[in-house]
Copies of this chain bind each other. A is one copy, B any other.
Amino acid sequence: MCVVTFGHGPRLPFRAVLVTLLTDYGVEDDFVGVCHLVIAGIAPEARIIDIAHGIPRHDVRTGALVLRRTLPFAPAGVHIAVVDPEVGGRRRAIALRTAEEDRILVGPDNGVLLPAAERFGGAVEAVEISTSPCRLVPVSATFHGRDLFAPVGAHLATGVALAETGDPLEPSELVALDLPTPRLEGDEVVAHVLAIDRYGNVTLDAEHALLARSGLRLGQSVVVEAGGDEHVAVYAHAFTDVAAGELLLYEDAYRTLALAVNRGSAADRLGATLDGELRVLPA
């Protein structure tokens, strides 16, 4: 009666247009608040939801990965992401439309948007918005969230067409984030380190669909090859399925493959580094 599976089946109705915000502005200052004020002034009917503002400062990759994993849980809308170390420089500012669900993504053209767009079939239309007629005038040198991305996103939320907010760009010209690609080689999963958290847990780039096609089965012993060494691990459901100090392979809450040592550091155990390649095969 009320099961909702995100990313499948018909979309639920959403009368107010949704505007989501993801930034590295932090939650202490007035940066986020003033973006809300600008959006509310232009698009009073829009509903604003903050996805996260604690992205590490200038960490475009983490911003891109968080946007990619959260947008599938969001109703379609206008999705603004601002992690922008080159603000005021020559990087382009863009808005794009996705192939599926007509989502609009707005932000700097530095790769922060594209991984999320790919979750919805990629970008099929894009505009350069640096001198958008929807921007605030004057645009400051350092606060494009307020002066450019928020007002352009808000106008899009009121129904202004993407083509009217900027100059056309070929979607293929957009700056991609340089991420490795996981693959299957026979029974082996060849994956890479996407992120390492403060506990030493290692997030890989292999996701559920790829795992389902691999030879790995839950409960099984597996071998993890990393840096020339082999490590035995259990492909488990939860940390508590293995003893303290043991290595486990598991799908995290976003169905992405991850490695952990129960009460220890998988990153230390494996000598893991960002983007480093690992191989996982049945034992």
**Chain B hits for A20, CB < 8 A:** 33, 37
- Per-position contact with B for A41-63: 1 when CB-CB < 8 Å, else 0? 11011010111101000000000
Q: Which of A24-32, A96-104, A112-120 contacts B (4 or more CB under 8 A)?
A: A24-32
A88 contacts B by Cβ under 8 Å: yes
Interface residues on A, range: 35 or more
**Chain B hits for A209, CB < 8 A:** none
Beta-carbon nearest neighbor of A134 in chain B? B2
**Chain B hits for A4, CB < 8 A:** 41-42, 134, 136, 151
Is A12 in contact with B34, judged by CB distance below 8 angstroms? no
Copies assembled: 3
Is A253 in contact with B49, judged by CB distance below 8 angstroms? no
Is A52 in contact with B33, judged by CB distance below 8 angstroms? yes
Is B37 in contact with A51, judged by CB distance below 8 angstroms? yes
Q: Which of A141-149, A176-184, A225-233 contacts B (4 or more CB under 8 A)?
A: A141-149
A–B pairs, 19, beta carbons within 8 Å: A4-B134, A4-B136, A4-B151, A5-B137, A6-B136, A14-B41, A18-B40, A27-B28, A30-B69, A33-B49, A34-B51, A37-B49, A37-B73, A38-B73, A41-B73, A41-B75, A88-B240, A140-B253, A142-B238
9 closest A-B pairs (Cβ-Cβ)? A28-B54, A143-B253, A33-B51, A30-B52, A140-B253, A2-B134, A37-B74, A41-B75, A2-B155
